[in-house]
Amino acid sequence: MVGQWRNGGRYGDRVIGSGAGCVSFLSMAQSGRFQLSVRVLAVLASEPDAMHTSAAIAEALKESAVMVRRAFLLLHKAGLIEQKKGPHGGAKLKIPAKQIGLGDVFEATAGDWLSIEDKAVSLWIKKVRADAVKAMNEHSLAGVVKRLKKTK
């Protein structure tokens, strides 16, 4: 996939790919952030009243504690988790898992994922994104946790 380079897309100021079918480093990074954030939130939702350290979550998920802390920052900024510093610190859900949609998590991790100079195309893409987020929000974090428990 990475080898399918075409002209037209942008990564920072560099051209890296084009329109449909383009796989950029940005979308791959976003996908990883989204996936890790859902997994982090699932751990937090498993014990919603407890504070969870990044180290404990990283160990449970077999991930880097640095990456978990980066996910914490995005999720905190979006208002999905609360954090506490100190010896009894960590993170926990700020709102119940059933009120957190997967679209909310996507929005927390996505950032400005697509920049298109053509205004008409840009407006259309924004609508597509809004529709996708709405559809993703039909599935809650609580549903993800429920499915994960069934597979164990």
Give the CATH number of domain 10-151. 1.10.10.10
Alpha-helical regions (H) of the chain: 25-46, 54-61, 65-77, 102-110, 119-136, 141-151
Rounded CA-CA distance 131/106 in Å is 13
Rounded CA-CA distance 36/70 in Å is 10
pLDDT in tens, the chain (152 residues): 333 323 333 333 333 334 444 444 445 477 789 999 999 999 999 999 999 999 999 999 999 999 999 999 999 999 999 999 988 889 999 999 999 999 999 999 987 666 677 888 888 888 988 999 999 999 999 999 999 888 86
